[in-house]
Structure 1
Amino acid sequence: MALLMSCIMSFVITLFNVGFIENVLFVWLKAWAFAFVVAFPTINLVAPIVNKLVSLVLFNRHHMRSNHENLLIWRNSH
């Protein structure tokens, strides 16, 4: 994931900053190398936090749905 994202982002940003110049391939590869060095450890640090947040959101969503269904059942029975 870090490899692909750093590739795409560095390519787009390189083209945005310098345009299609003669040595754009060299400039982009240099930017990509640097971007990957930053992206790889960043993803390793951020991924567990994101996974935890997603788990909390999905748990709360499931929990809220269950409470909502219980409320509907309760209303229909009274």
Structure 2
Amino acid sequence: MKINKKYERITFAFLMALCMSAIISFFMVLVNTGFQLELLGTWLATWGMAFFIAFPAACVLPKQIGKIMRKISFIENK
């Protein structure tokens, strides 16, 4: 399946947010609760909440961070 070029940015943000929120929420649940019978259910619930925050952030933050980086980066004119 090929993604149209105009949807590349949003698809990247979606997949990045999906993966990052899954990994981080899993390890945070594991650290806070340890291995337990309810680990999978607890993780899936927290992953849903984490993704709800991560996806909009992944869509908005790159532009804002890019602006900040252009201001603080020194680029030498050649």
Question: Same fold judged by TM-score > 0.5?
Answer: yes
Matched, 1:62 2:75: yes
State the secondary structure of the residue aligned to 1:47. Answer: helix
Structure 1 unaligned blocks of 5 or more? 70-78
- Report the AA paired with residue 45 of structure 1: V
Q: Give the TM-score, by structure 2 length.
A: 0.69
Which position in structure 2 is the counterpart of 1:36? Answer: 51
| Aligned partner (choices 9, 18, 22) of residue 37 of structure 2 | 22
- The whole-number CA distance in structure 2 between the counterparts of 1:4 and 1:19 is 21
Find 1:11's aligned residue among 2, 22, 26: 26
Cα separation, 1, equivalents of 2:70 and 2:17: 22
Runs of 4+ aligned structure 1 residues displaced above 6 Å come to none
Q: State the identity as a percent.
A: 35
Give me the TM-score of the superposition, normalised by structure 1.
0.69
Which structure is larger by alpha-carbon Rg, 1 or 2? 1
| TM-fit CA distance, 1:53 | 2.2
If asked which structure has higher relative contact order (CA below 8 Å, sep 6+), I would say 2
Q: Which has the higher helix share?
A: 1
Gaps of 5+ in 2: 1-15
